[in-house]
Amino acid sequence: MNVVDKKTGEEFFAVYAANRLGNLRFNVNGKFYSDREFNKKFESSTQDMMKFRVHTVNLLKEVLYNSSEKMGVFKIPFDQFGKRLHEVAERASQLNDPILNALMCDLTLYAVADPESKEHDKEVLKDIYLKARVQRFKEENH
């Protein structure tokens, strides 16, 4: 993944790999960093953070309220769908699976990922996406 040194602004390529002791660490230019050290020193480049996301609630509102009069028949199903998505989001947060958390953020089902929410936090989002990438890497390499 591409990362940027927070102090110098230099861009590097980082991999999650085993060090000589067999511990999984981030490797940047031959130097290994723990997750905590890595998060303090580097951040994901904007290229790494850019991906398609869906503001699910706004999408449902847009479809329901800005369509033809015939779309009114979908009000109850859309309301029920929204309630079920809320339940799914609550359960996902209880499970606290890194990959599932990132997916929930992609769908803006967590308040921290909703730019319209008071709880929106870009730093927390970066941490969620980093943990998901690490988890994917671990799953792919084990």
35-56 burial, b at 16+ Cβ within 10 Å, e below that, comes to eeebbebbbbeeebeeeeeebb
Q: Is the domain of 71 the same as that of 24?
A: no
Domain, as residue range, for 126: 56-140
Q: Is the domain of 30 the same as that of 82?
A: no
pLDDT by residue (tens digit) across 82-96?
899 999 999 999 999
Q: Which residue has the higher pLDDT, 17 or 49?
A: 17
pLDDT by residue (tens digit) across 46-96?
444 545 677 888 888 877 777 667 677 788 888 899 899 999 999 999 999
Q: Is the domain of 98 the same as that of 132?
A: yes
Number of domains in the chain: 2
Q: What is the pLDDT of residue 121?
A: 92
pTM of the model: 0.64
